[in-house]
Amino acid sequence: MLLAASGQQGGETFFDNPLLAFSGLFAAICGTLAFLTGIAAIVKNKERAALVSVSVIIGGFVIFFLLGEFLFPH
């Protein structure tokens, strides 16, 4: 959000502005990995911490939106 607020703009394709593209990819990867590690902790270690549940929920939303972008591009 700071990059977009500082005046960075995208272009015709995803990688026209590499700074925005890589920060977006990094955020999507972090959200997906938060979901996967949270699920692994819940299943394997019977984790019940609230923050683990929050990371699984947020990671689930990230995966949901990523699937939406790939399945129904705009």
Confidence class for position 8, pLDDT limits 50, 70, 90: confident
CA angle 74, 1, 49 (to 5 degrees): 95
- Enter the tokens of residue 37: 């590690």
Across 57-72, average pLDDT: 95
Residue 5: inside a domain: no
pLDDT digits (tens, 9 = 90+) for 17-35: 898 899 999 999 999 999 9
Q: Looking at the domain assignment, is residue 57 inside a domain?
A: yes
Counting the structural domains of the chain, the total is 1
Predicted model pTM: 0.81
The answer to whether residue 8 is domain-embedded is: no
List pLDDT tens digits, range 32-48.
999 999 999 999 999 99
**Is residue 44 situated within a structural domain?**
yes
CA 39 to chain centre: 15
Report how far residue 25's alpha carbon sits from residue 34's, in angstroms, rounded to the nearest whole number. 14
DSSP helix, strand, coil percent of the chain (3-state; round to 5): 75, 0, 25
Residue 6 placed within a domain? no
Domain limits for position 36? 32-74
The verdict on residue 17 lying in a domain is no
